[in-house]
Amino acid sequence: MKDQDYFQQIAALTGLQYYPTQNPWGGKSGSVIGARDGYVTAIGFDPTRNARKITILVRFKKVSDPALLKASLPQSPALPEKKPGKLAATGEDFVRWEIAYSFTKPKAEDVANFSGALRDALKTLAPPFDGRCEVCISTSTPSLTMMGNLPGYICSNCQEKARQDLDRAAMNYEAIEPNYPNGLVLGLLAAFLGGIAWGVIAYGINRIFLYGAILIGYLISWAVIKGTRKVTLFGQILIPILTVASVLFGDAIFYTLAVMKHRQIPFSMQLFKAILANLWPIEKEGNGILTLVFALVGAGFALYNARKPKFKTSFQPLDAPGRPIA
């Protein structure tokens, strides 16, 4: 069955709406969203966690003890004895239930029935929304809005206020005066320590790890941003350079340790300098290319990690729902 038809069926069975272009988890085939009895429900594929699964999200007014909810919900008599899937996450105003499958999707009826049972179970455990904005808890707000990725109730005043708060946060961030010398010093220190760790560990276990390069990249990007106090172009250029340099420096330490052992000689700066001077020919003999690839991947992760924080929220009305099955 095509995904669209599948979700149309679930929508018809649950009395909710199918939205072909909106999905809280970013799946391509849209999702079923709506509220019944004050409980907001979203049902869709969740492609973010590398497994095939149907996710059912139910939102409600904040509870004071999410841990209690987490413990009580699976025991609820409203749920069937044999439950499909498992409770994946509980928060103060939501639960997420996941039904994993391998080849065929779970039956639309089963998903619809279970989402109903979940709502019934929550009726005794968490309060429903009552048609008012969930932020200011006063303005009448009858229709759902996608707040970022989550469907919920937020009035236009609170949306405006959230935008203004973020604008202010963005302006404050822009106003931070970057401290470049600090960023450079902390970055160099992180690269130095990362390189020593890379060399010593590589020597100890006689192999290198991609994760090692990624960790070094993270360490350096954290240190540079900590030093400059914000994400800057300077940092974005410095971070990959330091990551590659750190891994190469680590390799030089590794080869120095290897020569010391092989020839039974103590450490000397002269030896280390000789290795550094000949690092490229040595790398070409060994697994230097692999090292460089690892270092570049590590730098890529570091750069991704060093993005500017986003100061945008999106509030989106729910699209026109998909047509119901004729």
Name the site residues for Zn ion (rule: CB under 5 A): 133, 135-136, 139, 155, 158
Q: How many other β-carbons are positioned within 10 Å of the β-carbon of residue 250? A: 28
Give the sheet arrangement for strand 150-152, strand by strand. 150-152, 145-147, 315-317
Residue 38 vs 116, nearer CB to Zn ion: 38
Q: How far is the CB of 17 from Zn ion (least distance, A)?
A: 23
Alpha-carbon 198 to chain mean position: 27
Alpha-carbon 252 to chain mean position: 35
Residue 111 vs 133, nearer CB to Zn ion: 133
Residue 157 vs 305, nearer CB to Zn ion: 157
Tell me the C-alpha distance between 197 and 202, whole Å.
Answer: 8
Bridge partners, residue 89, by sequence: 96
Could you identify the residue written with the tokens 């973020």? 166
Q: How far is the CB of 229 from Zn ion (least distance, A)?
A: 34
Indicate the DSSP class of residue 102: S
Residue 139 vs 305, nearer CB to Zn ion: 139
- As a whole number of Å, the CA-based R_g of the chain is 27
Residue 97 vs 129, nearer CB to Zn ion: 129
Q: How far is the CB of 290 from Zn ion (least distance, A)?
A: 55
Question: For residue 293, how many C-alpha atoms fall within 13 Å in the half-sphere facing its CB?
Answer: 8
Q: How far is the CB of 58 from Zn ion (least distance, A)?
A: 21
Tell me the C-alpha distance between 126 and 159, whole Å.
Answer: 25
Residue nearest to Zn ion (CB): 133
Q: How far is the CB of 316 from Zn ion (least distance, A)?
A: 17
